[in-house]
């Protein structure tokens, strides 16, 4: 009997051990105080989970990221809550949803200072904090720099007409991050963001050649290569043993699935299913197959570090799942509001709950993710959707911020617009009133028209001019409410030298889309180009767009109109308003220099001259490649006989822009004034050769006199 009892006891003990191992298979026997771990957050922009070989071996090999998965916990069902960069990273760093923090789109919104970010929380807990981001959508102006001791978003200088420096490659980001890390005391929190897989896909060699058939895959392979450098540094400095690492994508990329080429419009799994790997020292590797979201990262970090979780967090800690336990069943909310805010299209909201995925749009969608993860069979037509709509409404109600706390919109400066557009985003936000949306407003209906416009522009750039015009006109005939069809058709007319036709197209656009800031802004720009300054002033004094409160470009155009009409005081008021919205707008400083120089020539007031010089210099300081500002400064020096200063500036202007007509002429005058007649003659001959046919009779006569002066006593 005693023997049997002893046997039974041993049997029960073995069963207990098995249960214990089943519940907590991921922990090693080592124990360590987790408080004080460093934290490394790596986010890769536009990264599909299936492009990592630790998720799928179908496309390419990513050995370095795989090595992190081999020592960490890989989550197989992680979903982003949005499919654009700024909102997605806000979800991660605030641990709340867009319906709570109010950031729904790139550029249009900023993170309010009242919110506590993960960086602030860790800094308050004694961490040194650093962020190194790869592209403009995460520029510090949009609010995510809160809590970071250093927020490295330096893409270099950019002239408004050169759409460059909107991103930097992963290698540069990681190099800067490691330089910072070498000087930090522990514990530290480091966020590294790599933008490379985002469109346009331009991987460096050898990845460009190796993945010539899929440049997107080449970008992912390049990022994996750079991760090898980062992880190598971590190994060399024994950081893996004392660092919590979280690796994820901010959203995916459709790559043609569901008719979407990139991302930002739909919320199918191709755009919101993302990789996530969590590596914690002394925890064995494994996989978690439960559904999780980006808002779970913040509370997980708190739990691992054994620090207090802020009460506002909407996610949950994933530590129980890492330990092998089931997480509470809960819906994962997602949205795509970029088309709504930037285009005026129907909003898209939805949720994932177990096997169900519901997408609420005018043409609703319902999918069974267990049977149909690629979302090919819409079950909405065969199911009653009322319960799904009610559940979504309840989710939104429970997780939204109080109504009186409005979303905060960012100041939409011309540089933001230029940079976001260079990345494929339309960034002229609509300020929308409540309206009902019909089937014709659904993204699925409207997106093909958007791509038709893009196709037209591509054909035009490739030399098929007539087909480009034809497609744009077809879009306008079929749909009167596609804003970019009007603005792009006007652009083509302008490039063909048909400014009158361009303005007629934009006037038609404003007739059909009176609330479109995209069309209105282009219209004002072209009126300025056409010299129709009275119309510019009339339009800006009669049209009322809320965006005008935030957009310095509009005030710059108004300043140009007043300056051209000789109303210098009103021009100064408009330019100063522009600078109050963007105090780094080099074009406005240049224009201020021109106004003050005009005032000096009119009044001989020395203070106006000093203001002129100061503003031209400020424009150059902000943009060292700004040829127009060098010409303005050189012209100002020329007026007071500072010929050496004039020559330096004007030579620089011509160097930067060899076909700069005014700068070439002014340089000839400066050379002649200095007595450099041979140089002056060469410049004036060049000027005559290229521009003589455009000159009036009096201008031609003046040029001939100057050439004759250069020849005297040579």
Domains of the chain: 38-399 (3.40.720.10), 442-530 (1.25.40.10)
Torsion of CA 191, 192, 198, 200, to 10 degrees: 140
Instruction: Supply the pLDDT for residue 68.
Output: 98
Residue 415 clears pLDDT 70, i.e. is over it: no
Instruction: Supply the pLDDT for residue 33.
Output: 53
Q: What percent of the chain has pLDDT over 70?
A: 88
Q: What percent of the chain has pLDDT over 90?
A: 82
Residue 74's SS3 state is strand
Torsion angles phi and psi, residue 29, rounded to 5: -75, -15
The whole-chain average pLDDT of the chain stands at 90
Alpha carbons 85 and 109: distance in angstroms, whole number: 12
Instruction: Supply the pLDDT for residue 86.
Output: 96
Q: What is the mean pLDDT of residues 553-576?
A: 94
pLDDT tens-digit map of 661-694: 999 999 999 999 999 999 999 999 999 999 999 9
pTM, two decimals, is 0.81
Instruction: Supply the pLDDT for residue 148.
Output: 98
Cβ neighbour number for residue 51 with a 10 Å cutoff: 29
Residue 478 clears pLDDT 90, i.e. is over it: yes
CB neighbour class for 445 (10 Å; exposed up to 12, middle 13-18, buried from 19): middle
Alpha carbons 290 and 292: distance in angstroms, whole number: 6
pLDDT tens-digit map of 358-408: 999 999 999 999 999 999 999 999 999 999 999 999 999 999 986 544 455
Question: How much is the CA Rg of the chain, to the nearest whole Å?
Answer: 30
Instruction: Supply the pLDDT for residue 418.
Output: 55
pLDDT tens-digit map of 134-188: 998 999 989 999 999 999 998 654 444 443 336 899 999 999 999 999 999 999 9
Q: Which one is predicted more confidently, 421 or 309?
A: 309
pLDDT tens-digit map of 183-218: 999 999 999 999 999 999 999 999 999 999 999 999
Residue 499 clears pLDDT 70, i.e. is over it: yes
Q: What is the mean pLDDT of residues 339-351?
A: 93
Instruction: Supply the pLDDT for residue 3.
Output: 42
- Residue 241 near residue 281, CB atoms below 8 Å: yes
Least confident of 521-525, 550-554, 572-576: 550-554
Token pair, residue 123, equals 């800094």
Q: In sequence order, what are the residues at sequence separation of 6 or more whose Cβ sits closer than 8 angstroms to the Cβ of residue 92?
A: 41, 43, 118, 248, 250, 294, 295, 297, 298
If phi > 0 it is left, if psi is from -120 to 50 it is alpha, else beta; for residue 496 that is alpha
Instruction: Supply the pLDDT for residue 156.
Output: 53
């Amino acid at each position: 009997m005693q023997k049997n009892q002893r046997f039974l006891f041993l049997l029960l003990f073995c069963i207990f051990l098995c249960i214990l191992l089943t519940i907590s298979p991921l922990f090693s026997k080592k124990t360590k105080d987790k408080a004080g771990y460093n934290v490394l957050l790596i986010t890769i922009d536009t990264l599909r989970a299936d492009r990592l070989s630790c998720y799928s071996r179908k496309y390419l090999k990513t050995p370095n990221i795989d090595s992190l998965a081999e020592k960490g916990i890989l989550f197989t069902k992680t979903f982003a809550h949005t499919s654009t960069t700024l909102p997605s990273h806000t979800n991660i760093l605030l641990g709340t949803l867009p319906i709570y923090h109010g950031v729904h789109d790139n550029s249009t919104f900023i993170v309010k200072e009242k919110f506590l970010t993960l960086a602030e929380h860790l800094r308050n807990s004694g961490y040194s904090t650093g962020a190194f981001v790869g592209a403009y959508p995460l520029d510090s102006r949009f609010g995510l720099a809160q809590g970071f001791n250093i927020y490295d978003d330096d893409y270099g200088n950019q002239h408004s007409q050169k759409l460059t420096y909107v991103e930097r490659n992963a290698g540069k980001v990681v190099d800067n991050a490691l330089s910072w890390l070498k000087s930090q005391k522990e514990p530290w929190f480091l966020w590294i963001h790599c933008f490379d897989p985002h469109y346009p896909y331009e991987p460096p060699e050898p990845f460009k050649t190796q993945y010539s058939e899929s440049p997107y895959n080449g970008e992912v392979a390049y990022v994996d290569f750079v991760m090898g450098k980062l992880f190598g540094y971590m190994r060399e400095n024994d950081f893996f043993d004392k660092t919590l690492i979280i690796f994820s994508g901010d959203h995916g990329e459709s790559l043609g699935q569901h008719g979407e080429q990139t991302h930002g419009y739909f919320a199918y799994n191709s755009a919101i299913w993302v990789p996530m790997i969590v590596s914690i020292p002394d925890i064995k590797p494994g996989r978690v197959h439960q559904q999780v979201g980006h808002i779970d990262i913040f509370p997980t970090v708190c739990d691992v570090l054994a620090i207090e979780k802020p009460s506002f967090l909407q996610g949950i800690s994933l530590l129980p799942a890492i330990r092998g336990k089931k997480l509470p069943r809960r819906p994962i909310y997602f949205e795509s509001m970029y088309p709504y805010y930037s285009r005026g299209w129907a909003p898209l909201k939805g949720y994932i709950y177990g096997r169900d995925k519901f997408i609420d749009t005018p043409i609703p969608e319902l999918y069974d993710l267990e049977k149909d993860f690629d979302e090919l069979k819409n079950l909405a037509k065969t199911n009653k959707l009322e319960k799904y709509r009610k559940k979504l409404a309840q989710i939104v109600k429970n997780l939204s911020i109080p109504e009186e706390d409005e979303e905060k919109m960012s100041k939409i400066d011309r540089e933001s617009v230029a940079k976001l557009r260079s990345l494929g985003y339309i960034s002229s936000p609509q300020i929308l009133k409540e309206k009902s949306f019909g089937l014709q407003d659904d993204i699925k209906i409207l997106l093909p028209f958007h791509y038709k416009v893009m196709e037209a522009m591509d054909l035009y750039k490739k030399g098929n001019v007539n087909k480009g015009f034809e497609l744009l006109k077809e879009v306008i005939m079929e749909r009167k409410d596609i804003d970019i069809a009007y603005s792009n058709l006007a652009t083509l007319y302008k490039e063909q030298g048909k400014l009158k036709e361009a303005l007629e197209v934009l006037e038609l656009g404003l007739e059909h889309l009176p609330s479109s800031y995209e069309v209105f802004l282009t219209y004002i720009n072209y009126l300025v180009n056409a010299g129709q300054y009275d119309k510019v002033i009339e339009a800006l004094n009669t049209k009322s767009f809320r965006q005008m409160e935030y957009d310095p470009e509009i005030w710059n155009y108004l300043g140009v109109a007043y300056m051209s009409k000789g109303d210098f005081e009103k021009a100064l008021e408009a330019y100063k308003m522009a600078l109050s919205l963007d105090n780094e707008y080099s074009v406005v400083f240049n224009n201020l220099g021109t106004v003050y120089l005009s005032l000096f020539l009119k009044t001989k007031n020395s203070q106006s001259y000093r203001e002129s010089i100061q503003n031209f210099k400020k424009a150059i300081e902000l943009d060292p490649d700004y040829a127009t500002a060098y010409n303005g400064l050189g012209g100002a020096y020329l007026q007071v006989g500072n010929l050496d200063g004039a020559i330096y500036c004007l030579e620089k202007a011509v160097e930067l822009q060899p076909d700069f007509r005014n700068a070439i002429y002014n340089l000839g005058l400066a050379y002649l004034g200095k007595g450099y007649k041979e140089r002056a003659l060469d410049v004036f001959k060049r000027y005559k050769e290229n521009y003589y046919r455009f000159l009036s009779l009096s201008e031609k006569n003046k040029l001939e006199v100057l050439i004759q002066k250069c020849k005297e006593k040579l």
